Amino acid sequence: MAADKSPPAATIADRTRIGVYVDLDLVGDALIKLPFLRALRHAYPAAEITWIAGRGKSAFAGALAPLAAGLLDRVLENAGTGAELAKALGGRLDLLIDTQGMLGTALALRRLKPHGFVTEAAWGLPGWPPRCMPRPPRHLATRLLATLRHVIGAEPRPDAPLLLPAPSTALAERLLPAGKRYVAQVLGAGGKHKAWPEAMHVDLTRQLMAAGITPVLILGPDEADRHGDLAAALPGALFPLQMATALGDTAAPDLTIALARRCMAAVAADCGGGHMMAAAGIPLISLFGPTDPKKFAPAAARLALLRAQDFGGRETAAIPVAAVLDALTQSFG
């Protein structure tokens, strides 16, 4: 990371117009960045914060817009880095945080002449004396928080309040009423190779029910066609997203997070659903196979990470049900 030497980061706290530049945000990307965004708003509660997607769209203007309410004041999509972006911003920013790693893009953004500029693109740009910083970690959420720590001169709060829409919270209470112990299981993953096998989820579900716990199976669009067979095989398990759809509601990410908040813990592979469970602030058992948790692990307040490699395999199928159940049992304590 490199930071412009003038003005010092400590003076930025008095300023009010902040921009955050990203290339683009798919849903999974945006969820990984959510802890950073929560911490940024906590650090600057009265600031005008603009999220800038320079090369594409942002899920914070789409599927995740309900989560961005109160955190972001506006989202600019396909904004570029030049004159059109400057016009859209309507004046110089007090602080611009560049989260991407392209040197050319960083130089272009610097031409916007923000009063304060922090970028992860380089540690020493030509003619730009930076304060040298340690090489940032690979884990994206941790790296973004390290950048924010440098800016605010204090420990960021990735667990700062996340306000969910009242209708989603109310619907979650209706779908998962008080009086039962719930555990969420996210069955799918964006890449099928990352998912824990359905048969192992079924085994875990049955063991949880035998222990008096109500499994809450989170089926995304790609798993929705499995609802009928799974419901028939697992009487007593709940499928709240399908229940919401039957009621005429949209199974949006904010509803998934509201549902997770009513659970004691969750199990998920490396997927967007896992990051939603983490955003809910509940204990998360995160299952990793061929992907790298050092880069993609969810930023959960209480995370138990199980890697296939620790059980002699590469695919998530190598992670035994007994290990997941044991991690869940420990999380309950």
Range of the domain at 85: 2-152
The closest alpha carbon to 168, from 291, 73, 257, belongs to 257
For residue 76, what pLDDT is reported? Answer: 97
For residue 103, what pLDDT is reported? Answer: 85
Query: Domains in the chain: how many in total?
Result: 2
Residue finishing a domain among 103, 129, 152: 152
Residue finishing a domain among 122, 152, 182: 152
For 224, list phi and psi in degrees, rounded to 5: -60, -30
The amino acid that residue 282 corresponds to is I
Task: Please give the chain's pLDDT, 333 residues, in tens.
Answer: 444 433 344 445 555 899 999 998 988 889 999 999 999 999 999 999 999 999 999 999 999 999 999 999 999 999 999 999 999 999 999 999 999 878 889 989 999 999 999 887 754 444 444 444 455 566 778 889 988 998 899 999 998 989 999 999 999 999 999 999 999 999 998 788 899 999 999 999 999 999 999 999 999 888 999 999 999 999 999 999 999 999 998 889 999 999 999 999 999 999 999 999 999 999 999 999 999 998 889 989 899 999 999 999 999 999 999 999 999 999 986
Domain match, 178 and 136 both: no
Q: Residue 128: inside a domain, yes or no?
A: yes
Q: Residue 159: inside a domain, yes or no?
A: no
Three-point CA angle 7, 12, 16, nearest 5°: 130
Cis bond upstream, residue 134 (ω within 30) = no
Q: Residue 315: inside a domain, yes or no?
A: yes
For residue 136, what pLDDT is reported? Answer: 57
Q: Residue 160: inside a domain, yes or no?
A: no
pTM across the whole model:
0.87
For residue 135, what pLDDT is reported? Answer: 55
Q: Which residues contact 17 (CB under 8 A, 6 or more apart)?
A: 47, 48, 50, 91, 92, 93, 94, 95
Structure tokens at 120: 């992860």
Domain match, 120 and 188 both: no
Domain match, 144 and 198 both: no
CATH code, domain carrying 72: 3.40.50.2000
Residue finishing a domain among 119, 152, 185: 152
For residue 7, what pLDDT is reported? Answer: 39
Q: Residue 236: inside a domain, yes or no?
A: yes
Task: Please tell me the chain's helix, strand, coil percentages from 3-state DSSP, rounded to the nearest 5.
Answer: 40, 20, 40
For residue 241, what pLDDT is reported? Answer: 97
Length of the chain: 333
For residue 134, what pLDDT is reported? Answer: 52
For residue 322, what pLDDT is reported? Answer: 98
